[in-house]
Amino acid sequence: MRSRTPSRRISMPSDTSQVRPPTVPPPTGRRPALTREQVLTTALEIIDKDGVEALTMRRLGQLLDRNPMAIYRHAANKDALLDGIIEHVISELVVPQPSRNGNQDWEGALRRTAHAFRRIALAHPHVVPLLVTRSASGPLALRPLGTLRPIEALLELFINAGFDQHGALHASRMFTGFLYGHVQDELQERVHDPDETEDLLRLGLHRLPITQFPRLRSLAAVLAVYDGAAELDEGLAIVIAGLRSQLLS
């Protein structure tokens, strides 16, 4: 009797979910072109985290996963990159324009502008020195256009409020100077020894000779509870009162 060769059975997995589809090779198309917005946003992230000195074309290229040479298409050098970052940050500031009827809305617009600028400065503290120095250096016509837009908007605001051109220019300069000074002052480190409970020691004011600096030493309790927003409002009250007096004279 002839023996039969047993038929071979092909076992199939009972769970079809384990069957993997054939691998599809990734597309071979080129990556999207690098944009100026991507470059500036990533550069600002580096500065916000580690300061201006940490920003290099090489590090920026690594974070963007691009050859650093690709960045030079958007910024010729680090100075141009910093100018772009200033424009990028300043673009967040919007100066409200009240109705053009010479009413007191311009005062509220200044307050809103000041607090908006403060919020931007606190969000990007390492950029503040750049705003103060680079955005205000050199002839107006040679500055990055983005840094001039808030100035143009402030001039528009003051002229619509009733100031003449000379008065509007003076008011704009005084207002921006006050803002820059305030945010620089607010960002200064005030605490000398955080473990101390006595204000004079905590702020380090005990180091000042009492015969030469009696007033500063006496302000220890006031300086210890510094409130940036409240301080800004107090300064604004003085600035706006002076501008209002100038407008009515």
H, E, C per residue of 153-212: HHHHHHHHHCCCHHHHHHHHHHHHHHHHHHHHHHCCCCCCCCCCCCHHHHCCHHHCCCCC
Answer whether residue 96 shows pLDDT above 60. Answer: yes
When pLDDT is averaged across residues 36-47 and rounded to a whole number, the result is: 96
| 115 pLDDT tier (thresholds 50, 70, 90) | very high
CB-based contact 71:60 (threshold 8 Å):
yes
Specify the pTM: 0.81
**pLDDT above 90 covers what percent of the chain?**
62
CA distances from 116 to 18, 77, 110 (A): 56, 30, 10
CB 146 within 8 A of CB 40: no
* pLDDT score for 142: 81
pLDDT of 77 higher than 60: yes
pLDDT tens digits, 102-111: 556 899 999 9
* Predicted pLDDT of residue 141: 82
- Would the CA dihedral through 241, 111, 121, 87 be positive or negative? negative
For the chain, the average pLDDT equals: 87
- In the chain, the domains with their CATH numbers are 33-89 (1.10.10.60), 95-190+236-248 (no CATH), 193-225 (no CATH)
Question: What gap in Å lies between CA 122 and CA 102, rounded to an integer?
Answer: 32
CA angle 162, 140, 237 (to 5 degrees): 40
Q: What is the pLDDT of residue 25?
A: 54
Handedness of CA 41, 42, 48, 54 (dihedral sign): negative
For 34, 63, 66, 70, the CA distances from 31, given in Å and listed in that order, are: 9, 15, 10, 13
- In the predicted structure, residue 125 carries a pLDDT above the cut 70: yes
CA distance 168 to 57: 41
The residue among 78, 94, 69, 8 whose CA lies nearest residue 40 is 78
- Which residue's structure tokens are 């053009």? 100
Chain segment 79-93, per-residue pLDDT in tens: 999 999 999 999 999
User: Would you state the pLDDT for residue 152?
Assistant: 96
User: What integer is the mean pLDDT of 27-43?
Assistant: 84
Question: Mean pLDDT across the stretch 181-190?
Answer: 89
In this predicted structure, what is the pLDDT of residue 165? 96
Give me the mean pLDDT over the 172-183 stretch: 96
